[in-house]
Amino acid sequence: LGDVYKETATAPRGLPIELPEHAPKFRLLVRGAELASDEERAANPRATPVRLRAAERIKEDA
């Protein structure tokens, strides 16, 4: 049960509701890292070591 709580809740343990300051600020657009495609690597060899990670801001900082 403890591991499930860590993955799903953003509020501190013991609070019955999520407070606004504990809400997520970003949403991941890709899980892990995206690698360059074979076509991209053929056209641009420098793209081989590249790893793309992306997130979208869903909450503005106050």
Domain boundaries, given as residue ranges, for the chain: 25-62
Structure tokens at 14: 């013991």
Per-residue pLDDT at 3? 45
Name the pTM for this structure. 0.47
Per-residue pLDDT at 1? 44
Per-residue pLDDT at 41? 94
- Among 62, 29, 33, 26, CA closest to 49: 33
Per-residue pLDDT at 8? 59
Low-confidence ranges of the chain (pLDDT < 70): 1-11, 15, 61-62
Per-residue pLDDT at 23? 76
DSSP reduced 3-state for 22: helix
**Angstrom distance (rounded) from CA 34 to CA 52:** 5
**Angstrom distance (rounded) from CA 1 to CA 13:** 12
Q: How far is CA 13 from CA 37, 45, 51, in A?
A: 42, 47, 34
